[in-house]
């Protein structure tokens, strides 16, 4: 007959075995979760139409708006469509993950703007860089979603709706200006270039006004005869002439 101590020991061993198996299953589930998620798509330009629901003419118009916005302000705007966001719980979660992966925005992802449309889920979301929140306010996002995104999703007019969305967002977004510390340095460099050019021109005219500095004979360059007057220079020439006359010509 089994003693009470033996039964207690067996119970502890059985409980420990269950605990180990449960822990192993939990860890395996944690490791498998990332594998279950589908890989995020790669960017294919300002208009990343992975769901292929935007006509080419609307792609060109949206791309033109995005290019013009980035040239004027440095803000990078990207329009994205996907067939489905599964297994992400919402379009917002998907957009945030995509924004981080693509590293949108030229300055630490602070000046970026993404608009995402999920076709099957009929959802839309925006992801913004930190410096965009003062201009792309909740009121702006709500208005754009109500007037352009939701009607486009409901009616299936994705191209026109996303174009109007891009225009509506680019208008306040262009008020953002990237910090460019290089501008004052370039301006200061221009001042120094102008000053250096002026000095060079003055020195050039001063140099051409001094023929003694260009004379091939070093004594004249040193100023031994310059400044004594033509009489001094002529006196030397006259002395030379007198010596010649004394010798006579034969």
SS3 content of the chain, % helix, strand, coil (to 5): 60, 10, 30
The alpha carbon of 47 is separated from its chain's Cα centroid by a whole number of angstroms, namely 18
Number of neighbouring beta carbons within 10 Å of residue 45 = 12
Q: Are 173 and 134 in contact (CB under 8 A)?
A: no
pLDDT score recorded for residue 106: 66
pLDDT score recorded for residue 69: 95
pLDDT score recorded for residue 233: 37
CATH class of domain segment(s) 47-173: alpha beta
Whole-model pTM: value is 0.58
For residue 81, list its beta bridge partners.
Answer: 49, 117
Give dist(CA 167, CA 40) in Å, integer: 27
pLDDT score recorded for residue 177: 72
The residue to which tokens 């006196």 are assigned: 235
pLDDT score recorded for residue 3: 56
The overall longest dimension of the chain from CA atoms, in Å, is 161
pLDDT score recorded for residue 49: 98
pLDDT score recorded for residue 48: 97
List Cβ<8 Å contacts ≥24 apart for 203-207: none
pLDDT score recorded for residue 32: 42
Q: Are 153 and 165 in contact (CB under 8 A)?
A: no
pLDDT score recorded for residue 112: 94
From first to last of its 250 residues, what are the pLDDT tens digits of the chain? 455 555 555 555 544 544 444 444 444 444 444 444 568 999 999 999 999 999 999 999 999 999 999 999 999 999 999 999 999 999 999 999 999 999 998 667 789 999 999 999 999 999 999 999 999 999 999 999 999 999 999 999 999 999 999 999 999 999 887 654 444 444 456 677 777 788 887 777 766 666 555 555 444 444 444 344 444 333 443 433 444 344 433 3
The separation between the first and the last C-alpha atoms of the chain, rounded to the nearest angstrom, is: 161
């Amino acid at each position: 007959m089994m003693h009470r101590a033996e039964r207690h020991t067996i119970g502890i061993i059985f409980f420990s075995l269950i605990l180990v198996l449960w822990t192993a299953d939990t860890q395996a589930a944690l490791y498998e979760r990332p594998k279950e998620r589908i890989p995020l798509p790669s960017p294919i330009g300002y208009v990343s139409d992975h769901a292929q629901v935007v006509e080419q003419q609307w792609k060109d118009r949206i791309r033109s708006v995005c290019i013009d916005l980035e040239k004027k302000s440095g803000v990078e705007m990207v329009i994205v469509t996907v067939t489905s966001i599964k297994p992400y719980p919402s379009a917002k979660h998907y957009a945030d993950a995509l924004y981080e992966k693509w590293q949108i925005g030229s300055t630490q992802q602070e000046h970026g703007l993404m608009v995402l449309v999920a076709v099957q889920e009929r959802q839309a979301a925006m992801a913004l860089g930190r410096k965009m929140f003062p201009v792309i306010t909740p009121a702006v996002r709500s208005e754009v979603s109500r007037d352009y995104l939701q009607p486009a999703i409901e009616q299936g007019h994705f191209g026109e709706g996303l174009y109007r969305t891009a225009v509506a967002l680019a208008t306040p977004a262009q008020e953002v200006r990237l910090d460019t510390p290089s501008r004052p340095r370039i301006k200061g460099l221009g001042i120094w270039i102008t000053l250096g050019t002026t000095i060079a021109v003055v020195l050039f005219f001063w140099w051409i006004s001094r023929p003694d500095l260009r004379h091939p004979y070093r004594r004249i360059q040193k100023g031994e005869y310059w400044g004594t007057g033509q009489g001094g220079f002529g006196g030397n020439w006259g002395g030379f002439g007198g010596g010649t006359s004394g010798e006579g010509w034969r």
